[in-house]
Amino acid sequence: MLSLFIVDCKTVKDASFYTNKAINHARNGRRYVAISGFTKALEIDPAYSEAYNQRSLVFSDLNMYQEALDDISQAIILEPESQKYLNNRAAIYIALARTEDAFADLNRAMLINTSNASVFYNRSTLYHLEKQYSNALNDINQAIIISPNDGKYFSLRGDIYYEMEKLDDAFADYSLAIELTQQKEYLYAKNYIKRGLVLYRLNKYQQSLQDFNQVLKINNGHAEAYNGRGAIYFELNEYQKAAEDFSWAIKIDPYYADAYNNRAVLYYETKNYQKALDDYTKAINLLPQNPVFYNDRADIYKLLEEQAIDEEVKNDYKMKADADYKKSEELERTYSKIGKKTGERGKFLTGIAGKLIRNRV
C-alpha cells in the first residue's frame, strides 16, 4: 500500500509539472504549445481537474468555445462544488449566448460562496447584456463592496450608467476606474476611451479630445482612440483631421466597421457620395446585422436617385434604396440598441461593454 501511495503522488506531481509549464506557455502567448502540455498532464492523470480548467481557458482565448465548454464541464464533474469552475463555465455560456445556462451556473456559484467579487461581476455583466439594469447595478455594487480597489468593477458600473443615460454617474465611475487601472495599460486606455465617449455625449468636445489624446500617448496604435478623436474633429468641423483619424483607425484595424461608418458619415457631409457608399458597403460587409448602416446607405441612394437624370439610373438607385430601407426596418425589429437611432447620422462611436472575468488561479 505504501508503494502504491508513492506512485500516486508521483503521478500527481508529474501532471502538476506539465500543467504549470503549460500555464507559463499560455501566459507567453504560446497557446497551442500550452494545449499540448495540458493534454500531456491529463494523459498522466485523467482526474486532474485543474488541467481541464486551464486547457478550457486557453480554448476560450482561441474562441474555441465548444472545446472550452467540454473541458470545463469535465472539471465540474470532477469538482462539482468548485465556484471557480462554475464561474468559468458561465463565462463560456455567455460567449455562446446560452443565457439561461450562464445564469444557472452563476446562481449555483453564489450558493457556494457569497464573497467572490468576480461572480457578482460576471452576473452583473450578464444582467447588463440582458438590459436588466437594476439587477446589474445590485450585483456590481456588491462586487465593489467586496473589492473596492478593482478598477474594472467601476468601469462596468460606468457602462451600466452609460446605457441608462446617467452620463454624470458614468463619468464619475470611469474617472475612478482610470485612477485604479494605471498599472494595467489595456484597461487604463480603455477607461479613457469610455470617459472620452461620455464627454462626447455631453458635448464637451475639448475635454473629450484630451481623453482620446491621452490614449494615443499611452498607445499610438489604438484604433478606437483614432476613431473617437475623429468623431470629435467631425463635431468641431475639422473635417480633414477627422478623415485622417478615421483612416488611421481603418489602417490599424481593417475590420473596424464603426470607423468605416464614421468615415462614410464624413464623406456624406462633404458630398463625396461615392466614397460614402463604398465605406457604408464595407461597414455592412463587416457588420451585416446593423440596421443603421443600411438606413444611411439607403439615404445616399435616395439622394442620388433624386439627382439622376437618366431614368434607368434613377430606377436602379430607387431599387437599391428601397432594398436597404426594407433591410434596415427588418433588422431594427430584431437588433438590440447599438448606440444611435436610425437617422442620427454622425453621432455614432464604438459602444462600450464589460469584459467577463474568468478565474485563472
pLDDT in tens, 114-137: 899 999 999 999 999 899 999 999
Rounded mean pLDDT, 62-86: 95
Which pLDDT does position 1 carry in this prediction?
39
Q: Which of 95, 51, 53 is nearest to 72 (CA)?
A: 53
Q: Is the pLDDT of residue 337 over 80?
A: no
- The better pLDDT of the pair 359, 71 is held by 71
Same domain, 279 and 206: no
Which residue is listed with cell 498532464? 41
Put residue 84 in one of left, alpha, beta given phi > 0 → left and psi -120 to 50 → alpha: alpha
The last residue of a domain, from among 228, 248, 268: 248
Same domain, 210 and 273: no
Same domain, 106 and 34: yes
Which pLDDT does position 27 carry in this prediction?
86
Q: Is the pLDDT of residue 342 over 60?
A: no
pTM for the complete prediction?
0.76
Using a 10 angstrom Cβ sphere, with 0-12 exposed, 13-18 middle and 19 or more buried, the burial of residue 200 is buried
Same domain, 242 and 260: no
Residue type, 231: A
Q: Is the pLDDT of residue 351 over 50?
A: no
Packing angle between helix 151-163 and helix 117-129, nearest 10 degrees?
20
In terms of DSSP H, where are the helices of 96-184?
Answer: 99-112, 117-129, 133-146, 151-163, 167-180
> Do residues 166 and 149 lie in contact, with contact meaning Cβ atoms separated by under 8 Å?
no
Same domain, 234 and 262: no
Confidence of residue 3 (pLDDT cuts 50, 70, 90): very low
How far are the Cα atoms of 1, 312, 343 from residue 305, in angstroms, in the given order? 88, 10, 18
DSSP structure class, residue 81:
T
Query: With pLDDT > 70 as the criterion, what percentage of the chain qualifies?
Result: 89
Query: Can you tell me the distance from the alpha carbon of 302 to that of 323, in angstroms, rounded to the nearest whole number?
Result: 11
pLDDT tens for residues 103-116? 999 999 999 988 99
Q: Is the pLDDT of residue 249 over 80?
A: yes
CA dihedral 177, 178, 181, 183 (to 10 degrees): -170
* Total number of domains constituting the chain: 3
pLDDT tens for residues 297-320? 999 999 999 999 999 999 999 999
Is 72 domain-assigned? yes
Same domain, 244 and 262: no
Q: Which of 118, 130, 199 is nearest to 158 (CA)?
A: 199
- The better pLDDT of the pair 257, 335 is held by 257
User: How many Cβ atoms are within 10 Å of 65's Cβ, its own excluded?
Assistant: 18
Confidence of residue 260 (pLDDT cuts 50, 70, 90): very high
Q: Which CATH number is 211's domain given?
A: 1.25.40.10
Same domain, 232 and 311: no
Same domain, 22 and 99: yes
| Cβ within 8 Å of residue 193, ≥6 positions away | 211, 212, 215, 222, 224, 225, 228, 350, 352
Is 138 domain-assigned? no
Is 299 domain-assigned? yes
Is 147 domain-assigned? no
Is 69 domain-assigned? yes
Is 84 domain-assigned? yes
The last residue of a domain, from among 222, 248, 274: 248
Q: Is the pLDDT of residue 355 over 90?
A: no
Give the domain range for residue 89. Answer: 1-113
Is 107 domain-assigned? yes
Rounded mean pLDDT, 326-330: 94
Same domain, 100 and 24: yes
Q: How far apart are the first and last CA of the chain?
A: 33
Rounded mean pLDDT, 54-67: 93
> Do residues 286 and 257 lie in contact, with contact meaning Cβ atoms separated by under 8 Å?
yes
Query: Can you tell me the distance from the alpha carbon of 10 to that of 271, in angstroms, rounded to the nearest whole number?
Result: 73
pLDDT tens for residues 4-51? 333 344 455 688 999 999 999 888 888 899 999 999 999 999 999 999
Same domain, 8 and 108: yes
If you write DSSP's letter for every residue of 207-241 in order, what string do you get?
Answer: HHHHHHHHHHHH-TT-HHHHHHHHHHHHHTT-HHH
Query: Can you tell me the distance from the alpha carbon of 171 to that of 286, in angstroms, rounded to the nearest whole number?
Result: 30
Is 220 domain-assigned? yes
Which pLDDT does position 65 carry in this prediction?
93
DSSP structure class, residue 61:
H
Q: Is the pLDDT of residue 63 over 80?
A: yes
Which pLDDT does position 347 carry in this prediction?
41
